Structure 1
Amino acid sequence: MASRRPGHPAVPPVPHRVRQATAADVLTRRPLDSVAGMTGRADLRLGITDVDPVVSCGAFSARAVVGEHVPITATVFREGHDAVAANVVWTPPGADGAGQPLRRMARFGDQPDRWLTTVVPDREGRWTFQVEAWSDPLATWHHAVDVKTAAGQGAEELANDLEEGARLLDRVAGGADAEWRARLTEAAAALRDASLEMPARIAPAMAEAVQRYLYEHPVRELVTGGPVYEVWVDRPRALFGSWYEFFPRSTGPVVDGRATHGTFATAAERLPAVADMGFDVVYLPPIHPIGTVNRKGPNTPQYPGGNPYEIGPDDPGSPWAIGSAEGGHDAVHPQLGTMEDFRAFVERTRELGMEVALDFALQAAPDHPWVAAHPEWFTTKPDGTIAYAENPPKKYQDIYPVNFDNDPEGFYAECLRVLRVWMDAGVRVFRVDNPHTKPLNFWHWLIWTVKETDPDVLFLAEAFTRPAMMHQLARIGYTQSYTYFTWRTARGELEDYGRELAANCHYMRPNFFVNTPDILHASLQLGGPPMFKIRAVLAAMMSPTWGVYSGFELFEHVAVRPGSEEYLDSEKYQLRPRDFAAAEASGRSLAPYLRRLNEIRRAHPALQQLRTLRFHDVDNPNLICFSKTDPGSQDAVLVVVALDGHNTQIGTTSLDLPALGLDWYERMTVTDELTGASYDWGQFNYVELDPYREPAHVLAITHPRTVQVPPPVT
């Protein structure tokens, strides 16, 4: 899937005697030249550098989604004082770049050589773009006439300039329709008409309509094309969505005070409530048969000294200990139902306007069919036993990691086969467990092999790992990634991380989960109910994709022990039925609040963006202020959140009004989407947030300005 650039030109032999250089030598005898070294070409007439969005110098595709406004930027320059211009050749999948319309770039920012244009892909697949630089004789001529007439020069001194302008108009007229040919010819004649006064001679050529036409139909000379880069365009769900995770096995009825194992049918009964909260994606942990060997029970110690094998006959084990005599990765747990039952669950999810994301975990229980049939797919220790998973001091004796190196051809083929089983069952989104513990080249092969036939399939990397690995997983093809959001709680941390993600949005898309079955952050354990609201607002407003693990709406906050992020009575090892309806009826549920957040997200295209995230100053470190805008709809939203769940926070904002589409002196009407209150705001605004009433403002902005595509974050 990588773009391939031509190799370096061959180094010519050293001549035996000195001779005069020829024109051919200028183009071929510079193998160490910086331009040729970077591009494989030494014929670039004008300068094109620092092109974005580009991933790893073009080794991998940049990313976008259908309908997204994607800024393309470059540094374009030339020698001397003649005007230079630039455009982008934006080519859809399967098309020829030579037939594409001219997409002109314009200067932006405070760097005179920086250029920008915006493209909007309208279909999925592999798009390409190329920046072209060119000499702009029309702009050069226009500037020369302006400065010379302003200096008082007359017709005699401008004779050559007037004739040059007439000739340029003649060139454009040659390709125009009859109406514009006549108008341009008339303007050229005026430039040549010595009987007219100077203002009258140049006025037809300088008319606004004529200049607009000349901008759209320029004379391009010395056209220089830069490298061709790729942009892979996904469906919109790749960027925007709200995820809800729950365990189907915990949806069974409670009989005589005991939880019973749920099925796909009982899990489907939960779907209307999930849809009512406004979620788009229903994420299911593994639904496969669970191993019986070394099975772990409720609150099982994972540390040396504990006995992980003492479990009751009804303990269901961890869903991530995949495989038993009942089947492996291509089977469903018999207590959940059949494959047809799962298909019915998927169809019901679709009927409610959602889709299913399924866990894809490449590991096996000791009694998985793979272990007997393909022992080479695992690592054997010197004593002959198979290595189980360890993350010291944690031990996972119920899980065998896979060895990808002993039989890559066989195991790769099996993984692709398993994925296609679930794709055929209707799954188009996969949450991949621990991808950072598997080879990068495997993921690159698997993801793009799938996308060759099914470009709508999305992959979420559950990669709580080092930044380098997390970013590389995104570069090689992962659609989304889990993030460090869970551990970012202070304002500075959140701002720095938000800027980092926005700066890398051309290849890495975040999914802000507020909690997971593995992660109950200390802020939720100790912050009280307001902190659940605070974290939900931050996740739902900062990131276009966010997620909630079931139980968050019930304020579940008790850890298995002090200092741990594991839940007490973790659902990973036991059934955990919940009475959501009773909690909501009694007012002890966060579900209505989550519903409102998702309603706001759907109503505001600005909140469906990442690249437009901007932070604003506020004089209280326990308050954070940020905004998002959408160039397509002119939508803008401003968010202020208190980061303390216990105390009222007071502060004054200092807004970057140009980032919101206003001048510094202008005012705007803002309406709080959480409370309905409206305010008249400007650059400086008093804020007071009581976390026990409402810890956040989510402000829809009404103003007369248009929202422009902002330059990329640096």
Structure 2
Amino acid sequence: MAPRQAPPIAPAAPIGRIPVLDVSPVVEGGRWPAKAAVGEAVPVEATVFREGHDAVAATAVLVAPDGSDHSWAHMVDVAPGLDRFRATLSPDAPGAWSFRVEAWSDPYGTWAHDAAIKVAAGIDVELMLAEGVALFERITALAGLSPQDAKTLHDGAAALADPSRPSPARLAAALSPEVRDALARTPLRDFVTPSGTYPLVVDRPLALAGAWYEMFPRSEGARRLKDGTWRSGTFTSAARRLPAIAAMGFDVVYLTPVHPIGTAHRKGRNNSLTALPGDPGSPYAIGSKDGGHDAIHPELGSERTFKAFVKEARRLGMEVALDLALQCSPDHPWVAEHPEWFTTRVDGSIAYAENPPKKYQDIYPLNFDNDPAGIYAEVLRVVRVWIARGVTAFRVDNPHTKPLEFWEWLLAEVRATHPEVIFLSEAFTKPAMMLTLAHIGFHQSYTYFTWRNEKTELAEYLAEVSGPAGSSMRPSFWPTTHDILPPYLQHGGVAGFAVRAVLAALGSPTWGIYSGYELVENVPRPGVEEQIDNEKYEYKPRDWALAEEIGISTLLTRLNEVRREHPALRQLRNLTIHPTSNDQVLAFSRHLPARVSPAGTPEPADTVIVVVNLDPWGTQESMVHLDLAALGVPAEHGQFVAHDLLSGASYGWGQDVYVRLVPQEQVAHVIHVGAP
């Protein structure tokens, strides 16, 4: 149970014949693997150059878990003059993959460049053509050519060697687009110089892209009795809500803790220090005489009814996630059985949780330093108990308050036996901690999106999480949580909730809402950024029939439909921000080039543009200046059919577009880019 030791530092490798530097995605020099998901277009970059003026090129090679070369992609110089090359690789199965970059001298590229200049100028014409003939003898002998490419190259070689043809025609045949395309698929490579091989852990698609729905199962079906007390909802009554959640297109149902709740120092409504008779307490105050983290609150049901809930969710196409909150009520069995797992103060009392000035008298945090082996083993056992009950994802409460070496160990242990299980880090904390939690194995991370409201900060944050950071930290965008009701939503009304839903659902491949979002629950508890009558401290049954009148559930459904229909929206590292003339209008796009799916099926390019009015109260007009290259629209076309996936309308759009968004009617354009 000892923590995994850090690997030794490897000695520096020689520079190599063709230098390969600054390879990405690489996390801390390869100490931890970069992340990818099945079917994800993983951008690979490197700086490649050489002495002199000869042409260089590079290839990105994807290495399968068995160590064999799975596939490769020709890299493109994306920063001429800076020698930065890029390609995308797409793993097709989960596992411990890796990749490398191979730099090489490009004799065809060198000859083609020189010959085009000299033949046009009448300099050494016959010599250049003769050198081309000799070069094509090597090219036509390449192994691995397809029959069609072999014919193309032989035809080009024959035309180049034909002295009866004019010199310009001979050269044109050797430089034709068809010849260049064939050599892009099977190039002639000299002085091949590989980089190091870097780790790439590949997860199932849900680790990258999914829609989560959070619920307190005790509220679903809860009812007030004649004496004023409450009867808890159960897994059975909560399961009746599942068809509606599935109909809105959510992939994961996330349950707050379902364990027994302690009575010592139980919190009352709105986090008051005094609980009244019948107050259920916070489900985060885990543990009572009925058991601890492996137990089920008896008012919710039994192991049998929990498994029935999971089975119903799966029947509807959803998975079940559970909150993993490593903290205890004073009544938790661990307190009596393992007092060394907690911090004892000089007066003999056990320290409760604090985040000054906040105090959580109903919760004891664990101390991982006194008996790490014991705590490690017990938490792993608990996690495996819930996996056996059908849980396939965990939302981890406050992981930044536990040792990083513990999480690194636990996540590796679970991955070794259950690689399908996903861990979401709920760590609204300092950037270094958030990023390192992602480095050491958390599949997804809560983010600062909840507090990004202005156009500039939203644009910067979208670019940040979809850029190089995305190779390690997969963002999960939540407009609200059961703990957080940000000011924008306190004052933004129905349109504000619609704006944040569009930004969350289309700004990140993974997003989620907290139950009640459909009802625009936006009344704060005075002085804090959380809802009044917080569900953490009371039962909160809801009248879901009102959701249809408000209309947010209809929007949520459509957003999840659009995400499923458009693979570009299920990618992370493919986002472009587009300038607008109005600071209340944000525009961004996601583009996925045409490719072959992991199943071997050709897939067309897919591009979606999102233009959002950030003002929930006023109509906003703006010019949007689109980067057509980023949209995959050929410059010579300049125009395309813009089909609005929310309204159903179609427009003729080009590089510069005028938009007018009325929040009471439509807060955003969600545009699918069609053919011109």
TM-score by length of 1: 0.87
Helix, strand or coil for the counterpart of 2:99? Answer: strand
Q: Is the 8 A contact 1:46 1:133 kept in 2?
A: yes
Helix, strand or coil for the counterpart of 1:323? Answer: coil
Work out which of the residue numbers 6, 10, 33 in structure 2 matches 1:7: 10
The structure with the largest alpha-carbon Rg is 1
Helix, strand or coil for the counterpart of 1:251? Answer: coil
Aligned ranges for residues 12-411 of structure 1 at < 5 Å? 40-42=12-14, 44-97=16-69, 100-111=70-81, 113-153=83-123, 157-158=127-128, 161=131, 164-165=134-135, 168-169=138-139, 172=141, 198=167, 205-206=174-175, 209-254=178-223, 255-256=225-226, 259-301=230-272, 308=273, 310-411=274-375
2:613 corresponds in structure 1 to: 642
Task: Give the C-alpha shift of residue 400 in structure 1.
Answer: 0.4
Task: Give the C-alpha shift of residue 402 in structure 1.
Answer: 0.5
Aligned counterparts of 2:5 and 2:183: Cα–Cα separation in 1: 38
Aligned counterparts of 1:683 and 1:162: Cα–Cα separation in 2: 42
Matched, 1:417 2:381: yes
Write the letter of the residue equivalent to 1:108.
V
Helix, strand or coil for the counterpart of 1:572? Answer: helix
Task: Give the C-alpha shift of residue 147 in structure 1.
Answer: 2.7
Task: Give the C-alpha shift of residue 558 in structure 1.
Answer: 1.4
Structure 2: give runs of 5+ residues left out of the alignment.
Answer: 595-603
Helix, strand or coil for the counterpart of 1:524? Answer: helix
2:449 corresponds in structure 1 to: 485
Write the letter of the residue equivalent to 2:609.
L
Helix, strand or coil for the counterpart of 2:52? Answer: coil
Change in Cα spacing, 1:487 to 1:158, as seen in structure 2 (3 Å) is closer
The CA deviation string for residues 397-428 of structure 1, in whole angstroms up to 9 with x for no partner, is 11000011111111111111111001111111
Aligned counterparts of 1:108 and 1:66: Cα–Cα separation in 2: 25
1:615 corresponds in structure 2 to: 577
Write the letter of the residue equivalent to 1:265.
T
Change in Cα spacing, 1:168 to 1:646, as seen in structure 2 (3 Å) is same
Q: Is the 8 A contact 1:650 1:688 kept in 2?
A: yes
Write the letter of the residue equivalent to 1:286.
P
Aligned counterparts of 2:208 and 2:356: Cα–Cα separation in 1: 35
The CA deviation string for residues 37-79 of structure 1, in whole angstroms up to 9 with x for no partner, is xxx2225111111212112222211111111111211111110
Task: Give the C-alpha shift of residue 185 in structure 1.
Answer: 7.5
Structure 1: give runs of 5+ residues left out of the alignment.
Answer: 9-39, 302-307, 705-714
Q: Is the 8 A contact 2:129 2:171 kept in 1?
A: no
2:675 corresponds in structure 1 to: 703
The CA deviation string for residues 301-343 of structure 1, in whole angstroms up to 9 with x for no partner, is 3xxxxxx2x3223111110001111101111101111111111
Aligned counterparts of 2:172 and 2:492: Cα–Cα separation in 1: 70
Q: Is the 8 A contact 1:524 1:532 kept in 2?
A: yes
Q: How many residues are aligned here?
A: 660
Q: Is the 8 A contact 1:249 1:575 kept in 2?
A: yes
1:673 corresponds in structure 2 to: 645
Change in Cα spacing, 1:551 to 1:207, as seen in structure 2 (3 Å) is closer
Aligned counterparts of 1:125 and 1:423: Cα–Cα separation in 2: 19
Helix, strand or coil for the counterpart of 2:666? Answer: coil
1:594 corresponds in structure 2 to: 556
Change in Cα spacing, 1:683 to 1:406, as seen in structure 2 (3 Å) is same
Aligned counterparts of 2:651 and 2:173: Cα–Cα separation in 1: 49
Q: Is the 8 A contact 2:475 2:508 kept in 1?
A: yes
Aligned counterparts of 2:606 and 2:8: Cα–Cα separation in 1: 40
Aligned counterparts of 2:162 and 2:639: Cα–Cα separation in 1: 52
Helix, strand or coil for the counterpart of 2:262? Answer: coil
Helix, strand or coil for the counterpart of 2:537? Answer: coil
Work out which of the residue numbers 528, 538, 544 in structure 2 matches 1:580: 544
Write the letter of the residue equivalent to 1:106.
V
Aligned counterparts of 1:639 and 1:58: Cα–Cα separation in 2: 35
Aligned counterparts of 1:429 and 1:182: Cα–Cα separation in 2: 52
Aligned counterparts of 1:189 and 1:700: Cα–Cα separation in 2: 46
Aligned ranges for residues 430-579 of structure 1 at < 5 Å? 430-503=394-467, 504-561=469-526, 563-579=527-543
Q: CA RMSD in A?
A: 2.6
Task: Give the C-alpha shift of residue 673 in structure 1.
Answer: 2.1
Among all aligned residue pairs of Structure 1 and Structure 2, give the percentage whose two residues are the same amino acid.
52
Q: Is the 8 A contact 2:144 2:186 kept in 1?
A: no
Task: Give the C-alpha shift of residue 213 in structure 1.
Answer: 4.0
Helix, strand or coil for the counterpart of 2:536? Answer: coil
After alignment, is 68-77 or 348-357 more displaced? 68-77
Change in Cα spacing, 1:116 to 1:373, as seen in structure 2 (3 Å) is same
Change in Cα spacing, 1:312 to 1:658, as seen in structure 2 (3 Å) is same
Aligned counterparts of 1:539 and 1:166: Cα–Cα separation in 2: 53
After alignment, is 670-679 or 183-192 more displaced? 183-192
Change in Cα spacing, 1:190 to 1:667, as seen in structure 2 (3 Å) is closer
The CA deviation string for residues 641-685 of structure 1, in whole angstroms up to 9 with x for no partner, is 222222222222222222212256712222222222222222222
The CA deviation string for residues 362-417 of structure 1, in whole angstroms up to 9 with x for no partner, is 11111111111111111111111111000111111110000111111111111111
Helix, strand or coil for the counterpart of 1:659? Answer: coil
Q: Is the 8 A contact 2:115 2:129 kept in 1?
A: no
Q: Is the 8 A contact 2:575 2:589 kept in 1?
A: yes
Aligned counterparts of 2:234 and 2:331: Cα–Cα separation in 1: 23
Change in Cα spacing, 1:592 to 1:380, as seen in structure 2 (3 Å) is same
Change in Cα spacing, 1:193 to 1:559, as seen in structure 2 (3 Å) is closer
Aligned counterparts of 1:683 and 1:196: Cα–Cα separation in 2: 44
Aligned counterparts of 1:248 and 1:162: Cα–Cα separation in 2: 73
Task: Give the C-alpha shift of residue 186 in structure 1.
Answer: 8.4
Helix, strand or coil for the counterpart of 1:79? Answer: coil
Aligned counterparts of 2:129 and 2:498: Cα–Cα separation in 1: 72
1:19 corresponds in structure 2 to: none
Task: Give the C-alpha shift of residue 208 in structure 1.
Answer: 5.4
Aligned counterparts of 1:263 and 1:186: Cα–Cα separation in 2: 74
1:708 corresponds in structure 2 to: none
Aligned counterparts of 1:668 and 1:363: Cα–Cα separation in 2: 55
Change in Cα spacing, 1:258 to 1:681, as seen in structure 2 (3 Å) is farther
Helix, strand or coil for the counterpart of 2:219? Answer: helix
Write the letter of the residue equivalent to 1:122.
D
Change in Cα spacing, 1:480 to 1:178, as seen in structure 2 (3 Å) is closer
Q: Is the 8 A contact 1:3 1:229 kept in 2?
A: no
Q: Is the 8 A contact 2:152 2:182 kept in 1?
A: no
Change in Cα spacing, 1:253 to 1:374, as seen in structure 2 (3 Å) is closer
Write the letter of the residue equivalent to 1:352.
L
Aligned counterparts of 2:45 and 2:248: Cα–Cα separation in 1: 39
Helix, strand or coil for the counterpart of 1:597? Answer: helix
After alignment, is 369-378 or 204-213 more displaced? 204-213
Write the letter of the residue equivalent to 1:520.
L
After alignment, is 224-233 or 195-204 more displaced? 195-204
Change in Cα spacing, 1:610 to 1:153, as seen in structure 2 (3 Å) is same
Write the letter of the residue equivalent to 2:632.
G
Change in Cα spacing, 1:175 to 1:351, as seen in structure 2 (3 Å) is closer
Task: Give the C-alpha shift of residue 239 in structure 1.
Answer: 1.4
